[in-house]
Structure 1
Amino acid sequence: MASTLTFPKGGVHPPESKELTENLPIEVMPLPAELDLILGQHIGAPCTPTVAKRAVVAEGDLIAEVKKGLGVPLHAPVSGTVKAIGVSAHPLRVTTPSITLSVDREAGAKQWTMVDWQQMSAQDLLQKVHDAGIVGIGGAGFPTHVKLKPPADTPIDTLLLNGAECEPYITADHRSMVEKAEQIVTGARILAKILAVDTCYIGIENNKPEAIKAMTEAARAAGGGGCQVTVVVLQVKYPQGSEKQLIQAITGRKVPAMALPSAVGVVVQNVSTARAVYEAVTLNKPLLEKVVTISGRGIRRPANLLVKIGTRVSDIADYCGGTTGDLAKVVLGGPMMGFAISTLDVPVTKTTSSVLFLTEAEIDTRSMSACIRCGWCLEACPMGLEPKEIGIYVEAGLAEKTEPFGVFECFECGSCAYVCPAKRPLVQFVRLAKMKAKRS
């Protein structure tokens, strides 16, 4: 199963900690009493509600849309009543506009009817992806229909599906590949038809042998069908799942600085996004739910849960038996790129991959100190940037002068902070530098 495919520069090997959930099948979480649906679930303009307070909605109904600008619509994940159009807790902004639904637990689950996608045009398929409200599930939430319509002057010849799931703890994509391989491969073929390409690679790290086997068999069973789907085995190295690193590892192409993958003829989608595309196209089912890994030694029962968008972390914690006495931190996302949250009232969004309940033994609480110029961050950076200089400039009040050190090329993977012996918050320095440089 070993492979030599990986990106050439930088990267780190944090403890994987996937053994907590990698063998746990996906389970469906029962419906909570309420859902909080954040109106800004993607990069771009936030949604505007199309419903009013006390409105009765059915599962799959449109409840908010983007009328101007970049964005996708939002749908009711369940049948219920609009309790409020107000604000909900947010991991970064403290609060954010949202729609709160009171769940009708007596309403039966909606039955979705299968349709033949192969008779549809590429434009019709693209419209279905938009109408279903699909965004990049594994990343920052870029609207998928926009990514599938690259500029005319950048022809695409290759589709990459990202099944690396290189962040520690997270096994949501792994379990989806093991249990829903056929749907993911069909989603890949749909994406390929939209892009008019006949080559698709699915990159999976070699610590997921079950997923590699399931996806390889599904790709073989699907045959050609206008697109050759090939599973590629990758070395285990973080951040293998980053777009530019994945492209270089699999195709050998290097995306230029400040350019998009389309510049080298490639479009990258997450495997779970491909599955959402499958459901949108073949079932007319909007993006209403997602698989989320619940892990860490601070939760009594780790799990891979299929939860409705808008489910609060507090309801998830209760369902998983509550937290342990030595819980020290709760992180939305992975330990490398996720965000610590101060309240369990934060709801799951379309981009939530995991909720980690971490104990003191799982986090590093040492205080930061001054940079000792060891150079470890330079060696770890997969983009070849200079994190230490960015940090030093930010501390000196010169954040707006960090562009020469590559601050805008940084995708905040956290490799630099992970290896730093002085425990300097280099990713936070980068975020501050970007913010101030844009304002200058």
Structure 2
Amino acid sequence: MTAQPRIWDIPGGIHPPQNKHQSTARGLEQMPLPARLVLPLLQHIGNRAVPVVQIGERVLKGQLIAEANGPLSCPVHAPTSGIVRAIEPAPYPHASGLAELAIILESDGQDEWTELRPLLDYRDEQPLNLLDRIRAAGISGLGGAGFPTAVKLASRPDHHIDTLIINGTECEPYITADDMTMRHRAPQIVAGIEVLMHILKPDQVLIGIEDNKPEAIAAMREAVGERPMQVVVIPTKYPSGGEKQLIQILTGKEVPSGGLPADIGILCQNVGTALAVHDAVLLGRPLISRITTLTGAALERPTNVEALIGTPIADLLAFAGLRQNRLYRLVMGGPMMGFTLLDSSAPIIKTSNCLLAGTIEELPPPPPALPCIRCGLCAEACPAELLPQQLHWFAIGKDYEQLQRQNLFDCIECGACAYVCPSSIPLVQYFRAGKAEIRGIELQQSRAEHSRQRFEQRQERLEREAEQRELERQARAEKAARAKAAREAQAAQQQTEQSEQATEPKPAEPDLARIQSRKVTTLSAEQKQLKIAAATARMALQRAQKQLAANPDNADLQAQIPTLEQAFTQAQQAFDAQMSDQEKQ
């Protein structure tokens, strides 16, 4: 057996009660086929998928029902066979409680599969072909983040991935979905890791598991066997399952602030994601189900189930024996980073790893927040080595520049600071609000900059068009002048001939006025350019004056008017001076 590699510690961290044994006693159970599935089109980070089915259409299990909308998006597939009854807003598992556009699928009970195309000889395939298969299977990170897996695997050419980390830590209290996945699906997980190795070709593969999961550790070690990957047992500590924290524990490397693991040659994937990759490549199955923990004191039989994506949460709670009279708070996820669900008719989605049905004794309401006593416990507990106390004050004061200077976006919102706070200050809520405000400001600035660029491009286009029109007008004027001169010359010739016939010829006196007029009409190249410049400056001034008349409070236009007037005056004076010099000559 390969020796245990060195592990490092992370700063901060806490040890909350684990409460994991409640949901591991019954193994991994299979959920009955639900009568109705709700399939939101947004189950991942990025753009929502676009439906490709019609209401009333019958679909088969595994059939594509919504295609990806852009690179940062994931398709959605039918978890069972049935009839599409609606495409409409439906309850959605999110802290906001807002509805989300979803496909409502009524099961026909037959669970009939569409044609599958497994790829057993994937080692003969190019990595890009495997990425396309993973993308088409609709796989996004099953650890909770929901980032499209194919996008994460397709690192930039300058990013060589030398270390692949498989995250099996599952540090959040109560959640045991990954634990049961490793206990019951270890060979499939390892096969999925081998697919990832074929795509990335890393130098080493590390599977990190906390030491409170002995059964999962044994199952994974047996499945790994002599393969070139290591199962690394790490001490139980929250939040060791954070991506940056796990990287530091297993490699001693730190991801730069604002950077990505790929910047230091590392890529992380969850054990559930590796299982989904196995199903997509070796079985040809899209992501239509996941293993979810059902736990909490309000349930008679806490357990882990493999459930179809889109199964209503109420069906899952009923399967686990919900005691409604004891339910105080229903949480999606764990007690540290989860959020309260407002509607049990919402479905589970690809990122739903746990449903916590807590009693009031188990999840009591937080006490009223008290003033900060500057004890420093929050800073000691922060795994990102931030200063939560300072971030709290800047968030209250809406000092967004200072929040960014204090690296607010390095906060992983693990809740360790709020857990140890003796004043019960909801620090994470302040940090989330601050992040949302900063993102909103950046979005507004981006839109304003985009509008400014569009306005400037339009102005440049209008000036080019005006200049072109002026050039064309000058060309027409010169052509007309030449034609008029030709006509006058022809008329003068005819008149001369008639005079010669009537009288004796005598020396013709030159028409000095006409010659001088013709000289004035014919402009040199330099005079033409000066005239065009004066006309362009005049049009720019007139256009700005019209815009100012329509928007008298526009300070930018008011500041531009004197500059435009001066430019027009200088251009006109230069042209007049040239014309005056020519007349003197």
**What's the TM-score once normalised by structure 1's chain length?**
0.95
Correspondence list, 1:38-437, <5 A: 38-90=40-92, 91-93=94-96, 94-108=98-112, 114-116=118-120, 117-220=122-225, 223-224=226-227, 228-365=228-365, 366-399=367-400, 401-437=402-438
User: Which is further off, 363-372 or 283-292?
Assistant: 363-372
**Contact 2:91/2:100 (<8 A) preserved:** yes
Which string of whole-angstrom CA distances, capped at 9 and with x for unpartnered residues, describes residues 213-260 of structure 1?
11011111xx33xxx111000010011111111111111111111100
Q: Distance in 1 between the 2:55 and 2:163 partners?
A: 46
CA distance in 2, matches of 1:217, 1:272: 18
Matched AA of 1:92 = A
Asked if 1 retains the 8 angstrom alpha-carbon contact of 2:4 and 2:232, the reply is no
**SS at 2:229's partner residue?**
strand
Shift of 1:144: 0.3
- Structure 1 residue runs of 5 or longer lacking an equivalent are none
Partner SS, residue 357 of structure 1: strand
Cα RMSD between the aligned structures?
1.8
Q: Deviations over 1:333-387 (max 9, x none)?
A: 1111111111111210101100000111212422222222111110111001122
Q: Secondary structure at the match of 1:352?
A: coil
Give the SS at the match of 1:362.
coil
Give 3-state SS (helix, strand or coil) of 1:408's partner: helix
Q: Are 1:2 and 1:206, in contact at CA under 8 Å, matched by a contact in 2?
A: no
Deviation at 1:289, TM superposition (A): 0.1
The separation in 2 between residues aligned to 1:397 and 1:144, in whole angstroms, is 35
- Asked whether the equivalents of residues 8 and 252 of structure 2 are also in contact (C-alpha less than 8 Å), the reply is no
In 1, Cα distance between equivalents of 2:50 and 2:399: 38
What SS does the aligned partner of 1:106 have? coil
The SS at the match of 1:325 is helix
The C-alpha deviation readout for 1:360-415, integer Å capped at 9, x for no partner, is: 12124222222221111101110011222222222234355411222111111111
Letter in 2 for 1:102: E
Shift of 1:417: 1.1
- The percent of aligned pairs where both chains have the same amino acid is 42
* 1:438 aligned partner: 439
2:172, 2:5 → 1: CA distance?
19
CA distance in 2, matches of 1:158, 1:369: 45
Letter aligned with residue 235 of structure 2: Q
Q: Which has the higher contact order (CA 8 A, sep 6+)?
A: 1
CA distance in structure 1 between the partners assigned to 2:206 and 2:345 by the alignment: 39
* Paired residue type of 2:185: K
- What amino acid is aligned across from residue 338 of structure 1 in structure 2? G
Aligned partners of 1:317 and 1:323 also within 8 Å: no
Shift of 1:112: 5.6
- The one-letter amino acid paired with 1:347 is P
Give me the whole-angstrom Cα distance separating, in 2, the residues matched to 1:367 and 1:100.
41
In 2, are the aligned partners of 1:288 and 1:309 still within 8 Å (CA)? yes
- Per-residue Cα deviation, 1:265-305 (whole angstroms, up to 9, x for no partner): 01100001000000000011000000000001011221101
* Bigger mean CA offset, 402-411 vs 56-65: 402-411
1-structure distance, mates of 2:372, 2:345? 37
Distance 1:140 1:247 in 2: 16
- Give yes or no for contact 1:332–1:356 (8 Å, CA) kept in 2: yes
Instruction: Give the gaps of 5 or more residues in structure 2.
Output: 442-585
Higher mean C-alpha displacement, 125-134 vs 64-73:
64-73
Looking at structure 1, the residues matched to 224 and 4 of structure 2 have their Cα atoms a distance apart, in angstroms, of 20
Contact 2:7 2:252 in 1 (8 A): no
Amino acid at match of 1:145: A
The corresponding residue for 2:473 is none
Deviation at 1:312, TM superposition (A): 1.0
Alpha-carbon contact 1:39-1:64 (below 8 Å) kept: yes
Return the alpha-carbon distance in structure 2 between the equivalents of residues 336 and 399 of structure 1.
25
**Cα separation, partners in 2 of 1:236 and 1:156, compared to 1, 3 Å:** same
Q: Distance in 1 between matches of 2:224 and 2:307?
A: 27
Q: 2:18 is matched by which residue type in structure 1?
A: E
Range moving further from structure 2, 394-403 or 190-199:
394-403
Sort the Cα spacing of 1:438 and 1:112 in 2 relative to 1 into closer, same or farther, 3 A: closer
Deviations, residues 87-107 of structure 1 (Å, cap 9, x unaligned): 121223421111111111134
- TM-score by length of structure 2 reads 0.72
Q: Distance in 2 between matches of 1:198 and 1:406?
A: 32
Q: Which amino acid in 2 is paired with 1:208?
A: K
Q: Work out whether residues 118 and 280 of structure 2, in 8 Å CA contact, stay in contact via their aligned partners in 1.
A: no
Between Structure 1 and Structure 2, the one with more strand by share is: 1
Task: Decide which of 7, 11, 27 is 2:13's aligned counterpart.
Answer: 11
Q: SS of the residue aligned with 1:330?
A: strand
